[in-house]
Amino acid sequence: MKRFTYDRPQLEGGAFSLLEQPEASVIAGGTELLNWMRLGIAEPDHLVDIARLPGWGEIALDGETLRIGALATLNKVGEHPLVDAHARALGEACLLAASAQLRNRATIGGNVLQRTRCVYFRAEAPLTWGCNKRQPGSGCAAIAGHSDDAAIFGWSESCAATHPSDPLVALACLDAEAELHSASGVRRLPVCDLHLSQVEAEAEGEDGATAENRLERGELIAAYLIPLRPASRSTYLKVRDRQSFAYSRVTAAASVELEDGVIGALRIALGSVAQRPWRLGRAEQALVGERLEEASLLAAIERDMEEARTLPGSDYKRRLARNAAIRAVMAAGA
């Protein structure tokens, strides 16, 4: 492993100064970054540990929003009464992620910045196959090889990787915003727009395989802000090969507002189907004013699924994702 320096600033300003060093990287819980360093995916010269920044792990109500500090661990978020009361899908997503030990360490800020679980990407260097994310221009072994984890929305021939985070999908469904801090100030970005699909990255003139999110260099996620919607109920569904300590095949988060059995507002996000959470915008609009019934959900969600483009190994995801979305909406509205 390459040698690196390590600093643990006590104040936000100190972190930004340290991050100005070339090849500096933030570390929070370290459950993801240390794996990248072991595999040769990242080789930072300087680690800036933000774990002690005061107030960055707090969860509290702030006016009409629930504010979740980026340093809150997945267990803290999952078990917090305010999350249970106002953002149940997020709490469920956190508690379905990883193992109890990892959730005690893993932060929700670092979680949304984890990278794909594509087997061709997660291997120790040097690679003997093509992976455009690891070595730009080397090709994509997944497209002709094991594609069972591949994206079905928004992917390109350069990369078909998916984003593996559970909490990210719930945050996207709940219309959360990320509060981003940097040396030049604070800005907010809808979590739905934080990540890029490969097609979006290429449309913005970026490399579809390597461009993954819209964070600027030196910018940190300080918190997530979730609008309070007392009339809505949400839930999160994770479909995986075994019931514990496994990444998802497909996930679905749904938030439903019902009036006398009729849908007043609806939000649905799918996970593990793209390099970003995938909102089912057509179904969300079409179902407002409809009764909460499986038949109408099926018809509306099928229209969003028409956009899916699959590889031989990932074709099963089309139906699995559709069914997961229907189940999540029915459960949220039940």
Ligand X SMILES: Cc1cc2nc3c(=O)[nH]c(=O)nc-3n(C[C@H](O)[C@H](O)[C@H](O)COP(=O)(O)OP(=O)(O)OC[C@H]3O[C@@H](n4cnc5c(N)ncnc54)[C@H](O)[C@@H]3O)c2cc1C
Q: Which residues bind ligand SF4 (CB under 6 A)?
A: 116, 118, 120-121, 131-133, 140-142, 159-161, 209
Of these partners, ligand X, ligand SF4, none, which one is at the site of residue 113 (CB under 5 to 8 Å by kind)? Answer: ligand X
**DSSP label of 33:** H
Contacting ligand X within 86-145 (CB under 6 A): 97-98, 102, 106-107, 109-111, 113-114
As a three-state string, the secondary structure of 135-150 is: CCCCCEHHHHCCCCCC
121 binds, among ligand X, ligand SF4, none (CB under 5 to 8 A by kind): ligand SF4
Nearest residue (CB) to ligand SF4, 131 versus 211:
131
Of these partners, ligand SF4, ligand X, none, which one is at the site of residue 95 (CB under 5 to 8 Å by kind)? none
Binding mask 59-78 for ligand X (x = CB under 6 A): -----------x---x----
11 C-beta neighbours (distance < 10 Å), count: 11
Q: Would you say 273 and 249 are in contact if contact means Cβ atoms under 8 Å apart?
A: no
Nearest one of 319, 318, 275, 313 to 141, comparing CA atoms: 313
Q: Which of 255, 250, 251, 249 is nearest to 237 (CA)?
A: 251
Question: Residue 114 touches which of ligand X, ligand SF4, none (CB < 5 to 8 A by kind)?
Answer: ligand X
In the bound complex, what is the minimum distance in angstroms from residue 251's beta carbon to ligand X? Answer: 9
129 vs 221: CA distance, rounded Å = 34
Q: What is the side-by-side order of every strand in the sheet holding 177-182?
A: 59-62, 65-69, 220-227, 177-182, 185-190
d(C-alpha 65, C-alpha 58), whole Å: 14
Which one, 33 or 93, has the nearer CB to ligand SF4? 33
Q: Which does 141 bind (CB under 5 to 8 A by kind): ligand X, ligand SF4, none?
A: ligand SF4
Q: In sequence order, what DSSP letters do the residues of 246-303 get, joined into one string?
A: --EEEEEEEEEEEETTEEEEEEEEEESSSSS-EE-HHHHHHTTTSBS-HHHHHHHHHH
The Cα 72–Cα 322 span in angstroms is 32
Is 213 a binding residue for ligand X by CB under 6 A? The answer is no
CB of 284 to ligand X, least distance (A): 23
Site for ligand X in 169-198 (CB under 6 A): none
Cα gap 308→254, rounded to integer Å: 19
Which of the residues 241 through 270 are near ligand X (CB under 6 A)?
A: 247
By a kind-dependent CB cut-off of 5 to 8 A, residue 28 interacts, out of ligand X, ligand SF4, none, with ligand X
Q: Which does 277 bind (CB under 5 to 8 A by kind): ligand X, ligand SF4, none?
A: none
Footprint of ligand X (CB under 6 A): 25-33, 70, 74, 97-98, 102, 106-107, 109-111, 113-114, 164-167, 220-221, 247
